[in-house]
């Protein structure tokens, strides 16, 4: 747990009591970082729920830990840069960089303490009652100590390199988020040197969690942490010296990559050079064992130029996300969410007698997929048919995230080997997937695929696959458009829509977008697709304004939008104006939301809710009443500056009336009726769990039931 109240927290408390310095009641926008922390608070609340299965409770704690790692690596590092350059400049949220940093640090300290307290007081006891536990060194019996020492001597000690700090051995270079130990020592070594402190770095090859045999553990699922092994036996690395203690610690570094877009001539080579340095960016957070003496903590702070506000003293492992291994290693289905096998919907649920049959099914009418409630297999089958069908002449695909072991990528490799024209737009700057994408790009090039890296300065985030097939002497196009990545594993966890279509206008638009990405030329005019950075923002603003005009004219007007993040200030301002005009606006924003809902005179007709549950809400869907025409778009893009102006994105209309009604029901009606997973935003940016007297209704359970019944 966090045990120190630092100067930052005290300053923040003073700010909150001073209305002249507190912009909460004046700013039209909420702070991005604080909103992101509130999202993680909602995630952690899933671990606090007694009706969440025990192993899933542990998983949610680990997810928060992983989220916070990225939060520090990207968002806090950016905030620190602002703090250095413009400490007193007020942002759009009304905070100066200094005020924002103070409040963010206070909020994260509180969240981390809540996280570790929950693990210690509730989750570990619940798992122990089920025979799942982590054995700490101070609780080992003789047999467990003997076994642990054998493991240390055989598997751990040979890989350790102790470093005694002295003029000949400076402080070692420390990897981002690596596990390290610092040991105060006394005595003299074999050379007569007097050493006072040493550092031991845990090699990444060592497992952080080790299964203890049930016969030794006394429980079916007993584990020990690498931390416990080192604490118990690391003194053997320093014979003749007296060890005064052993304390774990971890430093988090700035992990954002910088590529000079004006100077770069080969993006892949430039990025590979940057990746090699990612693990050694400037330090932004220090995590230490809560038992670490103050003078050692200050020593580490000085080494990394960090303060008390940047330091987190924890009661447990410094990297909780490593405990995620337990969730998959322990075979206890009763302690997980009930297994759900997504059905394959018609017409894809029948065996394909020939590759062309799938294309005939798509040609008969647009096919809508809603993952993870429906299987991702039809998308795989679509590309399998494209690779096998002799009438298919070309495949074009965007890749943002796909994973290291990707069946989809293997299909593209097979298609290229078979002599088909395969063009793949690989986004090399997909954060934390850069190396994976570089590896796939190289393999695709080796088999003759055309590999391009999109547009420098604009990440290619659009999700598109286009197949060109020869039919009756002409080329016909078939396309897949989605709101999520081509990643089968996440497709089983993330809620996303996908559309398989042979609509001539949609497929021609897709082809034009691919031509823009692979070639040169003027901006293309698209018939149906909205595209960033060209038409999507202006189109969304235009449709919001149209609803406002309708409301002012006394007509029915309605806006509903579902997304991951809402930050773009012009869109937010237009939503405020539409609210003032009388438009009813329902926003379902899973994560960061800068818009304030329900503020009199500003947004009283706007509601914002966040759905947090078993599946990750990932789809972006936008609805406008449009004088009864009910325009519905699904998209790869959130309403953020980057998605509108610095990325290549698409939003595609749902044209088929039956499919449109289905999207409205599954994306909005069910979500707005949810009273089990929904959180409602308050005008100060806080969220409260929705509670009412209605019969319980869960969005996720309703969609699972609907798709099981349909099949």
DSSP SS3 for 570: helix
Annotated binding residue at 494? yes
What's the pTM?
0.90
Q: Is residue 265 predicted with pLDDT exceeding 70?
A: no
**Is 406 in contact with 436 (CB distance < 8 Å)?**
no
**Site of tokens 């999109």:** 454
**pLDDT > 70: percent of the chain:** 90
Q: Which stretches of 334-441 are assigned E, i.e. beta strand? A: 367-371, 392-399, 421-426
Q: Is residue 379 predicted with pLDDT exceeding 70?
A: yes
CATH topology of domain 159-323: polyphosphate kinase like (3.30.1840)
Residues near 50 by Cβ (< 8 Å), separated by ≥ 6? Answer: none
Annotated binding residue at 590? yes
Q: Angle at which helices 77-85 and 97-118 pack, to 10 degrees?
A: 150
Q: Is 700 a catalytic residue?
A: no
CATH topology of domain 531-710: Endonuclease; Chain A (3.30.870)
Annotated binding residue at 431? yes
Which of these ranges, 262-271, 431-440, 579-588, 643-652, has the smallest mean pLDDT? Answer: 262-271
Range 188-211 average pLDDT: 81
Q: Which token pair is 189?
A: 């070594």
Q: Is residue 615 predicted with pLDDT exceeding 60?
A: yes
Annotated binding residue at 614? no
Q: Angle at which helices 54-70 and 32-48 pack, to 10 degrees?
A: 160
Q: Say how far apart CA 539 and CA 530 lie, in whole Å.
A: 7
Examine domains 7-126 and 356-528 and report if their fold is the same: no
Domain 356-528 has CATH 3.30.870.10: yes
pLDDT number for residue 434: 67
pLDDT tens-place string over residues 436-460: 777 878 888 888 888 888 777 788 9
E strand or H helix that includes residue 569: helix 569-581
Question: Closest Cα partner for 510 from 437, 425, 447?
Answer: 425
Residues in the chain: 711
**Catalytic-role residue among 109, 371, 461, 537:** 461
User: Can you give the residue ranges of every domain in the chain?
Assistant: 7-126, 159-323, 356-528, 531-710
Q: Say how far apart CA 349 and CA 638 lie, in whole Å.
A: 32
CATH for the 7-126 domain, from 1.20.58.310, 1.10.3860.10, 3.30.200.210, 3.40.190.10: 1.20.58.310
Annotated binding residue at 618? yes
Q: Which token pair is 50?
A: 């007694």
Q: Say how far apart CA 585 and CA 37 lie, in whole Å.
A: 25
pLDDT number for residue 609: 98
Q: Say how far apart CA 562 and CA 540 lie, in whole Å.
A: 13
**Is 651 in contact with 536 (CB distance < 8 Å)?**
yes
Q: How many other CB atoms are found less than 10 A from the CB of residue 675?
A: 16
Annotated binding residue at 620? no
The residues that bridge with 316 in the sheet, in sequence order, are none
């Amino acid at each position: 747990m966090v045990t120190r109240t630092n100067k930052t927290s005290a300053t923040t408390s003073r700010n909150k009591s001073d209305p002249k310095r507190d912009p909460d009641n004046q700013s039209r926008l909420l702070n991005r970082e604080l909103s992101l922390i509130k999202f993680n608070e909602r995630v952690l609340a899933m671990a606090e729920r007694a009706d969440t299965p025990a192993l899933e409770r542990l998983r949610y704690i680990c997810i928060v830990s992983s989220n916070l790692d990225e939060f520090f690596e990207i968002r806090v590092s950016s905030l620190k840069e602002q703090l250095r350059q413009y400490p007193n400049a007020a942002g759009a949220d009304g905070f100066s960089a200094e005020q924002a940093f103070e409040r963010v640090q206070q909020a994260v300290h509180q969240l981390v303490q809540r996280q570790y307290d929950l693990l210690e007081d509730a989750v570990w006891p619940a798992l122990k009652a089920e025979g799942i536990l982590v054995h700490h060194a101070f609780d080992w019996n003789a047999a467990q100590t003997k076994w642990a020492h054998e493991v240390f001597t055989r598997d751990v000690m040979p890989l350790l390199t102790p470093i005694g700090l002295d003029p000949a051995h400076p402080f070692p270079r420390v990897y981002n988020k690596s596990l390290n130990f610092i040991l105060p020592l006394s005595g003299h070594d074999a050379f007569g040197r007097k050493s006072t402190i040493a550092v031991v770095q845990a090699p990444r090859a060592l497992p952080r969690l080790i299964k203890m045999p049930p016969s030794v553990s006394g429980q079916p699922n007993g584990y020990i942490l690498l931390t416990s092994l080192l604490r118990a036996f690391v003194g053997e690395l320093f014979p003749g010296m007296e060890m005064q203690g052993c304390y774990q610690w971890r430093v988090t570094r700035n992990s954002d990559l910088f590529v000079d877009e004006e100077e770069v001539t080969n993006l892949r080579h430039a990025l590979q050079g940057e990746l090699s340095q990612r693990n050694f960016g400037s330090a932004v957070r220090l995590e230490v064992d809560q038992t670490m003496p103050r003078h050692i903590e200050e020593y580490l702070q000085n080494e990394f130029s960090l303060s008390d506000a940047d330091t987190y003293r924890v009661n447990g492992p410094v990297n909780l996300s490593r405990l995620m291994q337990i969730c998959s290693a322990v075979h206890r289905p009763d302690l997980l969410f009930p297994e759900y096998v997504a059905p394959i919907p018609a017409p894809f649920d029948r065996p394909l007698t020939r590759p062309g049959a799938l294309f005939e099914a798509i040609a008969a009418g647009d096919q809508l997929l809603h993952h993870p409630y429906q299987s991702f297999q039809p998308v795989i089958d679509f590309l399998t048919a494209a690779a096998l069908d002799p009438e298919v002449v070309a495949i074009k695909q965007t890749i943002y995230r796909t994973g290291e072991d990707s069946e989809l990528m293997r299909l593209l490799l097979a298609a290229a080997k078979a002599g088909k024209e395969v063009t793949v737009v690989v986004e090399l700057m997909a954060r934390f997937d850069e190396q994976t994408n570089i590896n796939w790009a190289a393999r695709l090039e080796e088999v003759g695929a055309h590999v391009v890296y999109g547009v420098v300065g604009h990440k290619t985030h659009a999700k598109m696959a286009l197949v060109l097939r020869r039919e009756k002497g002409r080329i016909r196009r078939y396309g897949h458009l989605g709101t999520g990545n081509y990643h089968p594993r996440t497709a089983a966890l993330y809620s996303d829509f996908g559309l398989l279509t042979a609509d001539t206008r949609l497929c021609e638009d897709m082809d034009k977008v691919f031509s823009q990405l692979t070639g040169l030329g003027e901006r293309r005019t698209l018939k149906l697709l909205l595209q960033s950075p060209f038409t999507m923002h202006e189109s969304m603003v235009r449709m919001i304004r149209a609803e406002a005009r309708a409301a002012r004219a006394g007509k029915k007007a309605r806006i509903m939008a579902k997304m991951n993040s809402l930050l773009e200030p012009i869109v937010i301002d237009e939503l405020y104006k539409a609210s003032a005009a009388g438009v009813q606006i329902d926003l379902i924003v899973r994560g960061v939301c800068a818009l304030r809902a329900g503020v009199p005179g500003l947004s009283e007709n706007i509601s914002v809710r966040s759905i947090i549950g078993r599946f990750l809400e990932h789809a972006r869907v936008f609805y406008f009443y449009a004088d009864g025409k009910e325009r519905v778009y699904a998209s790869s893009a959130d309403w953020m500056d980057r998605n509108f102006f610095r990325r290549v994105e698409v939003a595609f209309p749902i044209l088929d009336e039956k499919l449109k009604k289905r999207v409205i029901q599954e994306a909005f009606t069910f979500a707005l009726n949810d009273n089990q997973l929904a959180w409602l935003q308050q005008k100060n940016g806080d969220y409260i769990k929705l509670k009412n007297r209605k019969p319980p209704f869960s969005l996720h359970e309703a969609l699972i039931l609907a798709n099981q019944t349909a099949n």
